[in-house]
Amino acid sequence: MADTEHEVASPAPPAAPRDPARARRWLLALVLALLAAALVAVWLDGRNARRTLRTEVAKRLGDIEATDQTTRATLKDAQEGLREAQAKVALLESRLAESQSQQAALEALYRELAPSRDEWALTEIEQVLQLASQQLQLAHNVPSALAALQLADSKLQRLDRPQFVPLRRALARDMDQLKAVPYVDVPGLSLRLDQAIAAVDTLPLALEQRLPPQAAPAPPADEAGWRGFLRTVWQDVRQLVRVENLDRPEAPLLAPQQQFFLRENLKLRLLSARFSLLFHDQQNFRADLSAADSWLRKYFDTHSAAVLTMQMLLKQMQTTDMASEMPDVVRSLEAVRLLKQARERPPR
């Protein structure tokens, strides 16, 4: 027992001293192991990454190939459509060239055959002026001629050509002359003459004039019967003879046939006055109206209201002032003809 306690109590032998070189070898081996493990891990990661990359690249290449095939098919269709479009464009260009050539030929033909706008305008204005000249020469219709000249001037104003200035100046002079002509209401006067002609048959003659009977005086209230009888007989006797003062010569006695010709001749006088009015013949117009008025005073009952009305009508129409000379549009016609000749003359 004592021996055992002694052995326990005795100190342990000292540890063997460590070798520094061996420790370094162990440390180096540990570092190399760690490096090898890291390299293996990196290699495994790189291998997995390359495998994933190859898979992704293969997938992308497959998609690209499919897209490429689709693109090639689309491109092929587009090329075919382009070729068709080019063919259609070529056809359209050929047709356009053909239509342009036809249009050029038609324009050349139109220029050769059809007159220009100015020539049409000059021709139309010449026709209007000729119509105005006819209205002045045949019917003496100043308003119609003036309207025709105003129409021609408005057309020239719309064209606004400097070469038309002389023509417009001639038109202005002719319009001033027409405006200076006194206005005569030919339709109104003609209508009044027609009414007078229609009323000739109803005019009473002077030989048909009857004086109004004198009114018998009222008998007294207390007059005797024999006095009333004598007064009635005396009034009847007084009706047999009448003495009156006349303010004109005795009316001529006309047979029924002469009365008929008198009325017809009066109608002819009024009708002649109407024709003179249409031709603006003031001298004959007044002469016919004066002759008709003298016949009314001589042969017709001037106390009748119808005769007095016709006499007043004839006197009013005798005061109508007509132009002694009717103007013309010769200057305007000459100006438009000179312009047409200048346009038709070929250039030197």
* Predicted local confidence at residue 324, as pLDDT: 62
126: which 2 tokens? 């010449």
* Predicted local confidence at residue 299, as pLDDT: 86
Looking at the fold, whether 133 and 169 belong to one and the same domain comes out as yes
Least confident span in 128-137, 200-209, 273-282 = 200-209
pLDDT exceeds cutoff 60 at 130: yes
Q: Which of 57, 88, 107 is the last residue of a domain?
A: 107
Helix (H, G, I), strand (E, B) or coil at 212: coil
Assign 271 a pLDDT band (cuts: 50, 70, 90): very high
| More confident call, 79 vs 5 | 79
| More confident call, 18 vs 288 | 288
Assign 215 a pLDDT band (cuts: 50, 70, 90): low
Looking at the fold, whether 51 and 77 belong to one and the same domain comes out as yes
Looking at the fold, whether 97 and 132 belong to one and the same domain comes out as no
Does 257 map to a domain?
no
Does 66 map to a domain?
yes
pLDDT tens digits, one per residue of 107-127: 777 666 555 777 888 889 999
* Predicted local confidence at residue 35, as pLDDT: 86
Q: Which of 107, 137, 153 is the last residue of a domain?
A: 107
Does 82 map to a domain?
yes
Assign 70 a pLDDT band (cuts: 50, 70, 90): confident
Does 4 map to a domain?
no
Least confident span in 129-133, 175-179, 239-243 = 239-243
pLDDT exceeds cutoff 50 at 270: yes
Looking at the fold, whether 39 and 95 belong to one and the same domain comes out as yes
- In sequence order, the 6+-apart residues with CB closer than 8 A to the CB of 5 are none
pLDDT exceeds cutoff 50 at 15: no
Q: Mean pLDDT across the chain, nearest whole number?
A: 80
* Rounded average pLDDT over 20-39: 84
Looking at the fold, whether 142 and 92 belong to one and the same domain comes out as no
* Predicted local confidence at residue 310, as pLDDT: 93
Range of the domain at 62: 31-107
pLDDT exceeds cutoff 70 at 88: yes
* Predicted local confidence at residue 140, as pLDDT: 76
Number of domains in the chain: 2
Chain mean position to CA 319? 42
Least confident span in 104-118, 135-149, 266-280, 299-313 = 104-118
Looking at the fold, whether 95 and 140 belong to one and the same domain comes out as no
* Rounded average pLDDT over 215-241: 66
Does 25 map to a domain?
no
* Rounded average pLDDT over 140-144: 83
* Predicted local confidence at residue 321, as pLDDT: 81
Does 122 map to a domain?
yes
Looking at the fold, whether 101 and 125 belong to one and the same domain comes out as no
* Predicted local confidence at residue 175, as pLDDT: 92
* Predicted local confidence at residue 5, as pLDDT: 43
Taking CB atoms within 8 Å and a gap of at least 24, the contacts of 165-173 are 166/335, 166/338, 166/339, 167/125, 167/332, 167/335, 167/336, 167/339, 169/335, 170/331, 170/332, 170/334, 170/335, 171/332, 171/335, 173/331
pLDDT exceeds cutoff 60 at 249: no
pLDDT exceeds cutoff 50 at 253: yes
* Rounded average pLDDT over 132-143: 83
pTM: 0.47
192: which 2 tokens? 């009044």
% residues pLDDT > 90 (the chain): 22
Looking at the fold, whether 39 and 65 belong to one and the same domain comes out as yes
Looking at the fold, whether 102 and 127 belong to one and the same domain comes out as no
Q: Is 196 exposed, middle or buried (0-12, 13-18, 19+ CB in 10 A)?
A: buried
Does 67 map to a domain?
yes
| More confident call, 5 vs 75 | 75
* Rounded average pLDDT over 247-268: 77
CB 276 within 8 A of CB 189: no
Looking at the fold, whether 162 and 121 belong to one and the same domain comes out as yes
* Rounded average pLDDT over 182-189: 83
73: which 2 tokens? 């098919």
CB 327 within 8 A of CB 145: no
Looking at the fold, whether 66 and 101 belong to one and the same domain comes out as yes
Assign 48 a pLDDT band (cuts: 50, 70, 90): confident
Looking at the fold, whether 126 and 101 belong to one and the same domain comes out as no
* Predicted local confidence at residue 292, as pLDDT: 94
* Predicted local confidence at residue 221, as pLDDT: 62
Does 310 map to a domain?
no
Q: Which of 42, 75, 107 is the last residue of a domain?
A: 107
